[in-house]
Structure 1
Amino acid sequence: MAPEPVELAIFPLESALLPHQELPLRIFEPRYAALVRHCVGRGEPFGVVLISQGREVGGGESRCDVGTLAEINECIDHGEGRYELHCRTGERIRICEWLPDAPYPRATVRPWPDEPGEPVTDAQCLDIEDRVMALFERVATARGAQLPGRDVVLGRADPAVDTSDAGQRLFALAARVPIGPADRYSVLAAPSAAERLLALREALDSVTAIVEFELSGN
């Protein structure tokens, strides 16, 4: 049985965030200063969702309905409604209903764990991890740079990531690949681990083609 929706402050962003990512924020807009005071005062997380149309500043933006929780780990108050936050994203959430923006964006949400689907095997995870490593090695060679260890590059060194869970492993991997907001959101919003694997493969195909084109000098 699905848990009851809970009301949550929401921060729409122009980038899609995946679980277990660092999220630094500089706050100066009054509505988000109010959000910070609310969350810090109550010790509550907020949600982050991708803006599908519009900008972070000014209001009136259109928002996607899948996001993540974000915990405020550090809040520096610079005065006059300006804050510097160091946050980290957590579990995936789904918007149930948008509420009036009074005084900041709010919605009722539920956690959205992976839905049942075709199993993702360790061999499939290793295959796409190898492709990501090959991409980074291609770039590093072109720049004369040295890569860190495989686990660091692939996001497997993060103790918060359960590498025995294929869905979480794919989230961690996707967070390291330089894909655009739309592709990152496709990975985030994939209902199951198997569908996330397909979305990540397609995104990786696109970014690999772009890198090869740029490095070829054409």
Structure 2
Amino acid sequence: MAGRSSRAELPLFPLSTVLYPGGRLELRIFEPRYLDLVRECTRDDRGFGVCLILAGREAGEPALPAAVGTLARIVDFHYGADGLLGIVAEGAERFRVLRTRVRADGQLRGEVGWWPEVPEVPVPVELALLQTIAERLVEAMAPQWKHAPRACYDDARWLGYRLAELLPLSGDERQRLLELTDPLQRLAELRDILPRFQKA
């Protein structure tokens, strides 16, 4: 992000899901304000902000977004059999929402501050079991990661984000894991959550 301003204004898309850096998001777009958002982002080659909804719903009145979200960049789009626009977006940098405003058309805009990029951190041997679990989850649930290089599983950032999106966690848990700044702390918390999913 060399030469980039530490702040920006983004169109915000509050959702009932959490997008992580490097993650994949598929959306069907039908509300005029979000069709405008997609047009604007495509025209200007920029992304939009994805934030977990704290109050409200995805459709209708503007929802209250979480204060920390992830930039989403549109990488593909198509029209479904129902005629609705579908987009595929990938998660990029995290940000903190500093203030928001609602446009006349109901689209939520936010002034955001970019979070510093976290350097790569190797996965310590005491957390290596999480690599095996991630491999099994990817094999069963996430074909887009099946050919990920082995180096990805050795990176605590990548590993933590993939586990956080693939494990059946609550929205609040996913949001907390997004907001953690230490990749090793994220992995440690995921390790401590795992016994909940073990069969009796």
Instruction: After superposition, give the CA deviation of every residue in 1:140-180 in whole Å (9 maximum; x if it has no partner).
Output: xxxxxxx949xx78x58436x85553223211232222222
In structure 2, do the counterparts of structure 1 residues 148 and 163 end up closer, same or farther at CA, with 3 Å as the change threshold? closer
Matches of residues 162-201 of structure 1 in structure 2 within 5 Å?
A: 162-201=152-191
Secondary structure of the residue aligned to 2:77 is: strand
In structure 2, do the counterparts of structure 1 residues 40 and 186 end up closer, same or farther at CA, with 3 Å as the change threshold? same
- Aligned counterparts of 2:162 and 2:135: Cα–Cα separation in 1: 14
In structure 2, do the counterparts of structure 1 residues 162 and 98 end up closer, same or farther at CA, with 3 Å as the change threshold? farther
Matches of residues 8-157 of structure 1 in structure 2 within 5 Å?
A: 8-76=10-78, 82-103=84-105, 104-113=107-116, 121-130=123-132, 148=139, 155=145, 157=147
Q: Output the aligned Cα RMSD.
A: 3.3
Secondary structure of the residue aligned to 2:188 is: helix
Contact between 1:7 and 1:106, CA under 8 Å: does it hold in 2?
A: yes
Kindly tell me the number of residue pairs found equivalent between the two proteins: 192
In structure 2, do the counterparts of structure 1 residues 7 and 199 end up closer, same or farther at CA, with 3 Å as the change threshold? same
Measured after TM superposition, the shift of residue 194 of structure 1 is 3.0
- Aligned counterparts of 1:109 and 1:173: Cα–Cα separation in 2: 26
Please report the TM-score for the alignment, with normalisation by the length of structure 1: 0.72
Contact between 2:53 and 2:66, CA under 8 Å: does it hold in 1?
A: yes
In structure 2, do the counterparts of structure 1 residues 38 and 193 end up closer, same or farther at CA, with 3 Å as the change threshold? same
Q: Unaligned 5+ residue runs, structure 1?
A: 137-146
- Aligned counterparts of 1:96 and 1:178: Cα–Cα separation in 2: 30
In structure 2, do the counterparts of structure 1 residues 11 and 92 end up closer, same or farther at CA, with 3 Å as the change threshold? same
Contact between 1:27 and 1:83, CA under 8 Å: does it hold in 2?
A: yes
- Aligned counterparts of 1:72 and 1:126: Cα–Cα separation in 2: 33
Secondary structure of the residue aligned to 1:19 is: coil
Measured after TM superposition, the shift of residue 14 of structure 1 is 0.6
Q: Partner amino acid for 1:110? A: G
Measured after TM superposition, the shift of residue 32 of structure 1 is 0.9
Q: Partner amino acid for 1:108? A: E
Q: Partner amino acid for 2:128? A: L
Measured after TM superposition, the shift of residue 202 of structure 1 is 3.8
Task: Select which of 181, 189, 193 maps to 1:203.
Answer: 193
- Aligned counterparts of 2:36 and 2:97: Cα–Cα separation in 1: 21
- Aligned counterparts of 1:164 and 1:200: Cα–Cα separation in 2: 16
Q: Partner amino acid for 1:75? A: F
Measured after TM superposition, the shift of residue 102 of structure 1 is 4.3
Please report the TM-score for the alignment, with normalisation by the length of structure 2: 0.78
